[in-house]
Each structure stands twice: as C-alpha cells, then as structure tokens.
Amino acid sequence: MNNYKHYEGDAFEFYEKVFAQKRGKSGKNILESFSNDIKSLYKNYDNNFDQNSLQILIKNDFSIDVCTQLKDLYKYSAKTFVDLRTELTTTKNGRKVECQYCTLGKVHTFDHYIPKGEFAEFSVHPKNLLCCCAECNSLRGSKWRKDGKLLSLNLYKDILPKEQYLFVSINDVKSFDFNFYLENKSGIDDELFKRIEYHYKSLKLFDRFGESSDNVISSFYADLKAFQEYPLSEKSKEIVLKQIHSQRLGKGFNYWESILKLALLDDKDFMNSLR
C-alpha cells in the first residue's frame, strides 16, 4: 500500500468541465443557479484538505432534486473521469493500476472518500476521488468519520509510516495455517494507527491476503529452490533480501507479500522443506 498523488489542478474548473458535459437541459438549469455555492464549497473543501481536517466539514442543505443532479454528474466511464484516472495512476515509473487500498485488485472505479450520499456537492471533486478496485469500494461503505474524528485512511493525506506495522505469524506452513495482524511496535501516532486498523478490518484485508497467499508461497518456494543449496548461503540470502527490499520500495514498506516472504525466511519448517 502506497500513498496516491492527488489532483493538482483547480478543483472547481474540473467541476465546470464535468458540468459542461452534463446532458439534460433541465438538470443543468437546476445546477446553474448554484454555481457560486458550489465554488465556495469547493474552496472550503480544498482548505480543509490542505489542513487535513475534512472531518469538520458540514453538510450543505441542498434539496433532494439538487443532490440528485449533483450525484448524477459522476460517470466513471465519461472521458473526464477516464482522463483523471489516467493522470492519477501515471507515475514517473509508469502506470500504477493496482488498487492501493488492498494491493490485490486492479483499479476499476473511484472511491468517494467523503460519500456522495452524504455530501452530494463533492460527487465530482477530484480530491475526493481515489482510484480503487470494485471490491474495496464496496467494502469501504459510507463510514468515514465518527465523533468528529476520521475513521478511514485518506491515501492522499495520511502519510503511511516507513515502519513495519503489518506482521504474519506462521503456525503450520504445510497446512497454510498463518495469520496476518497489525501491531504498533514503532510508536506510530495513535490516531493514524487507528485509521490503519480500521482500513485493514473494514476491507477484510487479513482474510483477502490469506486467500491470495498460496500462490505467493509456492512461487517463493520455487525461487528459493532455484539456488540449489541447503541451507541457503549468506550470499543467497542477501540476494533474496535485496529482492524483497526492492519490492517494498515499489509497493510499500508494509506490502503484504513482502511481509509474508520475510516471515517464511524466518520459519524453520519452511526453510527445512528446501532440502
């Protein structure tokens, strides 16, 4: 899991571009009279986004008709959103099309960090849209704050720690009996760690990692067997650790596959199976 880069253009200009493409004269007429209100709300969103205080936003009391038209502006398949997705997933190292919420699925949708059902005015705010897979989008639901505090990670604003917080305990590698878990061993800020915990639990990531682990273990076993030595020499271990380190640099310090591989290297039963 890595942080996303956020949209750097003018958010209200993005809204105007989406609005210009809206079909239906009656719907456009309804929204046109609220243009100044939307502009003000977008500016307020941007200010709170910059200060990482989105949790204090107050819902605007738009009518049901206005909310319906605002939510109707969002069309994932529309060119404006396709271009936004391309922009947000393009890095200096190429396209990042893997969902960073889970690092399992591919990006197929946008998650509204602040749900459009609650804040229809931000249905197409580009800093409120995060690329993700359909499963994560469905699982995340509409809960994002509670008692004035953020529940969910915002991968635009919550800078992920460079310390390890994801671990795996291996009970029996032969029967694939192991458990992923989180632990704050490095003094990560309590509020941030709570959001990390909520993220993993709400997206059922421990179970999803477990379901995807068989191929990782089989592939890693084949890679280690290719050295044709037991036990592995220090030089061979160094090569393997460099590969894992490189994977963590590219996919996140707490990338689940890397964490699993490190645990396997320390598991005597797994390493003895290389004989």
Backbone phi, then psi, for 100, in 5-degree steps? -80, -10
Question: What is the arithmetic mean of pLDDT over 60-74?
Answer: 93
From CA 31, how far away is CA 67, in angstroms rounded? 9
DSSP 188-219: --HHHHHHHHHHHHHTTHHHHHHHTHHHHHHH
Question: What is the arithmetic mean of pLDDT over 129-150?
Answer: 92
Torsional class of 152: left (φ above 0), alpha (ψ -120 to 50), beta (otherwise): beta
pLDDT digits (tens, 9 = 90+) for 191-221: 999 999 999 999 999 999 999 998 999 999 9
Percentage of the chain modeled with pLDDT above 70: 99
Q: What number of H helices and E strands is found in the chain?
A: 12, 8
pLDDT digits (tens, 9 = 90+) for 79-131: 999 999 999 998 777 677 899 999 999 999 999 999 999 999 999 999 999 99
Domain assignments of the chain as residue spans, ordered by start: 11-140, 166-272
Distance spanning both ends of the chain, measured CA to CA: 34
pLDDT digits (tens, 9 = 90+) for 214-262: 899 999 999 999 999 888 899 999 999 999 999 999 899 999 999 999 9
| Residue with the larger pLDDT of the pair 176 and 249 | 249
From CA 269, how far away is CA 176, in angstroms rounded? 12
Percentage of the chain modeled with pLDDT above 90: 77
Cβ burial of 141 (10 Å; 0-12, 13-18, 19+) is exposed
From CA 199, how far away is CA 83, in angstroms rounded? 27
Give the model's pLDDT for residue 91.
77
pLDDT digits (tens, 9 = 90+) for 36-58: 999 999 999 999 999 999 999 99
Question: What is the arithmetic mean of pLDDT over 143-167?
Answer: 93
Cβ contacts of 107 within 8 Å, gap of 6 or more = 85, 89, 97, 98, 99, 131, 132, 133
pLDDT at 175 over 80: no
Q: Work out the pLDDT band at 18, boundaries 50, 70, 90.
A: very high
Supply the pTM of this predicted model: 0.90
Q: With the CA atoms of 155, 159, 163 and 167 taken in that order, what torsion angle do they form, in degrees rounded to the nearest 10?
A: -20
Give the model's pLDDT for residue 234.
93
Q: Work out the pLDDT band at 21, boundaries 50, 70, 90.
A: confident
Q: Work out the pLDDT band at 67, boundaries 50, 70, 90.
A: very high
**Run of H or E residues at 258:** helix 256-265
